[in-house]
Every structure is written in C-alpha cells, then in structure tokens.
Amino acid sequence: MKTLSKIIPTIIFIIFFVLVVTRIFYKLDALGIADYDEAWHAVNAYEMYRSDSWTINTYEDQVDYFNSKPPLYLWAVLALYKVAGPSLLNFKIPSAIAGVIIFLLLAAFLLYLKKEEDGETSVINTGSLVAVMFFSGAFLVMDGLYDYHLFRSGNFDSFYNMFLMAGIICIYMSRKSNKWLIGFGVAMGLAFQCKSFNVVPMLLAAICCIPFMAKEKRIRHIIYSVIAATLTVLPWAIKRFMFDGLAFFNAMLFGEADDKLTWFTINYLKDIPKSTEYYLLLSTIICCIIALGISKKSVPEAFKAFWNYVKKDAVFYLWIIVPIAFYSLAGAHNPWYVYSSHLMVVLLTGLYGSRAVKELFTGTAALKAAAVVLTGCFIAICAVHGIGKITTVNELAGTGGGPAYPFRDDMIEMADAYGDEYRSRHIYMIDISRYDQRDIKDYLFCDLQAYAEYTLDLHPRQGGIDAWLEDEGAIFVINKDLFEDFADRLVGHVIIQDGGYLFFSQDMY
C-alpha cells in the first residue's frame, strides 16, 4: 500500500510534466509574433547576430535606446543562432527552456519543503510526491504565462522569472544559513541582466523577508549579497559604459517609466478572478482548513494549526503580495510584471493540497475516500483544462500575430518566387496603424520588420518615400489605405500591404 501511495502521485506528476512541456513547446512558432515587445526584441536579436555584436543591441542597425534592458536573454538567443541559425522559432526556444527549468526548480524545491515539514528522512516520500502532483496540475493551468509574454514568447520575462525563483529559494534557505544570501545576490544580478530595474519590487519583497532570515551574521551576509549582485552585473556594465557612457543607463532608468507610472491601479486585483490558479489555491486552502477541523476535532485548534502553516509560508505570501502591491501603487499595469506571484500561487497550491490530503488520510475510511475523490477532481480539472488549451493551438495556428502575420507568409512566398534576387536589400515601410494625417511620418512597424529580416535578410531603414526614391534597388511597403496619398510617386519595387501584400510591382503608378 505504501509503495502504491508513491507510485500513483509519481505517475500523475509525470503525466502533468509531459503536458506542461507539450503546452510550452507544441507548435511554438505557430502563432508567430504575439506582441510589440517580442517583435522588437526579435529585431534586436537578428541585427546583433548579423553584426556579430554581443554588447550593443540595435534597431534598424542603429543603437537602440528604446529597448533599454541588459541583453542576457539575447545572449542565449545569439548562442543558439550560432549553432542552429537565426529563426523566429529559435528566438523563442530559450524562453521555453527557461519555462521547463522553472517547473523543475520549483518541483525540486517543493520536494525539499515537504521533506522538511513532515520530518521525513528521504526527499522522495509520499507527502512530497503528493505535493508536486498538486503543484504540477496547477502549473499546467496558468494560461497567461503560456499565452502571453512568458513561456512561449521571445520576451525576456521567462529568464527573469527563472532567476527570481532561484532567488526566492535562496531567501527561504537563508532561514537556516545566511550564506544562501550570496546565491540570492547572484540571482538578483542575473534577473537585473534580464529586466533591469524591474527587480526593485523583488528586492522590496526580500527586505520584507529579513525578519525570517537567520540572525547570525545577517548584516554581513546582506552586504555579501549586494556585492555578489554587483559583481554579476559589473562586467557588462563596464563594457557598455565604455561604448556610450551613461546614455544607455539613463534610458534604462528613466526611459520606460514615464509612460507607465500613473500612480495606483486596481487592475491586478481585477486580474486575479480571471486566473484559474488562484481558484485552485483557494480551493486547496479551504480543503486544508476543513481537513484540519476534522482531524483536530476543534475549530480553534484547526485555525491554530492553519495559522502555523501561514507563518511557515510567510516568505511565499510576501512574494505574492509585494509585487502586486508595488505595481498597483505605481499604477503600472502589465500582467507579466506579477507572473512571479502566479508561480508562488502554484507552489502554495502544492503545499496546501498535500496538507489537506495528509490530514484526511489520518481519519476514517470515509475521509480517505473523500481525499481520493477531491484529489481526483483536482486532477481532472487541471488535465481537461490543460489539454483543451493545447488543442486550441491547432485552431489558432496561422491566425495569430494580428495583421502582420500574413506578411510572413508573403515574405516566404516572395523568397520562393525570387530566390536571393531581393535578399539583403533595404526596405522602407509605411503602415496605416502608425500613420498620422496631421504629421505624415513613416514608422517601421516592428513585427513586419522582424518578418522581413528573418525571411529575406531585408534591412529596414527610415526616411520614408523620399529616402526610398534615392535608394536604388530598395523595397517600399505601403498600406493599401495610404496608396492614394503616394500613388503618383511610387516607382520601383513596391509591396501593397493589406494584412499581407497584394502584389509586388516595379511599375510607375
């Protein structure tokens, strides 16, 4: 019976792990570029690869101060490009791999937590296996983290959260030995290398955790942690400073904050009811409280036992609450800013699910049966939800990426039709979505630009129609709704774009 109690949760965990990996990697590139940031980063990566630059990110072959983040994720992408060549799929793969590492890292940590909590001598015990089973089911249903800006995206956030999770583990482990704070410093330095000053709320969360750290030599090791973080960032910072002084650092500190800090929003609280993982955590907490009430046979004793759990988990609650509170007060609402909170939610789901089962299994046969039924319902909900979302990828394939997605197919068709005839030429773009009638200007719509670069190695340039007319052999892309504004000047290689190009012409209109 004891052997069976280990085998069953292990099998279910493995099934959920396979589903998680499938949901991360399945048709990873089927939906194309999902958002503006991802498109911009893809351009950065391609141009850095083309110029063999590992320090300076560029856009339109000019130094880029818009994407003012350190290039750690881009280094991983460039390394893969060196081995397998540049492609939008390879651009996403490091992020997907980081998603799997996050899963395994938290699962391993959860095994340790339950071993410690239950006083077991072996890491692989029934309580630990039940905990990772609940955790893996909850991990599978975090829709936002798969669908936007994290596991399946070429943004920097998957790497960023990978280092945050390592940092949280180090903070927790510092309860026994403050030497772990050095690891926390390294993790925060690497997180900074992904998302720059987005680490601030995480540092605030760490400060809130100081009372839970070991007291012995605490101040000394906090200083060591700061030094470790600094040394992690310093080589890149020096190299960057040698190139353009403080220009990039000023952009990194002030560039993106101005339009995002509006002071106070409740949108994060509105997002919580939309997230299945929060419902799963609430359900397991309620089941745990009920199970404690049954096993303790006293409401006060049950809540006392539950409060002991809360105190034990205080570090994790802080890492859920502090990022949400920080960005809510700042008024900066981007869902991915608090994805670390979602990851802590699924970790706690694993803990409370296993605690509820443990308490029920100390009771009568009927209570044991209830534990099995509740666990089965949890497993079924997560499996059906996750498989349904994986199936949805087939339905959406070829329909994502907005109006720019068909442009990729048209670029591919152009490459097939003309071979290398137009490869590596300059390309100028005017798109209706960035067109202002009061101040006519061209804007390189970055997802179009990414598809142009990755497919035909086209080199986007600014300057609009005037620059294009003077650039022999260059290609001009114009939205069909702007055709009449420029028709009398269009001569040469012109693509009329309408959710893809309608025709490629060298005629004078």
Lowest mean pLDDT among 190-199, 235-244, 474-483: 474-483
Tens-digit pLDDT profile for residues 77-122: 999 999 999 999 999 999 999 999 999 999 999 999 999 999 887 8
Q: What is the mean pLDDT of residues 38-57?
A: 94
Q: How many helices (H) and strands (E) does the chain have?
A: 21, 7
Cα 16 from chain centroid (whole Å): 20
Q: In terms of pLDDT, which residue wins out, 236 or 60?
A: 236
Residue 443 pLDDT level (bands cut at 50, 70, 90): very low
> What does the radius of gyration of the chain's CA atoms come to, in whole angstroms?
26
Q: In terms of pLDDT, which residue wins out, 505 or 378?
A: 378
- Break the chain into its structural domains and give their ranges: 2-396, 403-505
- Winning range, highest mean pLDDT, from 25-29, 230-234, 396-400: 230-234
Sign of CA dihedral 276, 282, 287, 291: positive
Q: What is the DSSP letter of 478?
A: E
Residue (of 239, 148, 154, 257) closest to 196 by Cα position: 257
% of residues, the chain, pLDDT over 90: 66
Tens-digit pLDDT profile for residues 464-486: 888 898 998 899 888 777 778 88
SS3 track for 182-205:
HHHHHHHHHHHHHHHHHHHHHHHH
Q: What is the pLDDT of residue 507?
A: 55
Residue (of 284, 465, 454, 290) closest to 378 by Cα position: 284
User: Is 500 within 8 Å of 406 (Cβ atoms)?
Assistant: yes
Q: What is the pLDDT of residue 123?
A: 79
Residue 434 pLDDT level (bands cut at 50, 70, 90): very low
Q: What is the pLDDT of residue 437?
A: 42
Residue 387 has pLDDT above 80, yes or no: yes
Q: What is the pLDDT of residue 151?
A: 96
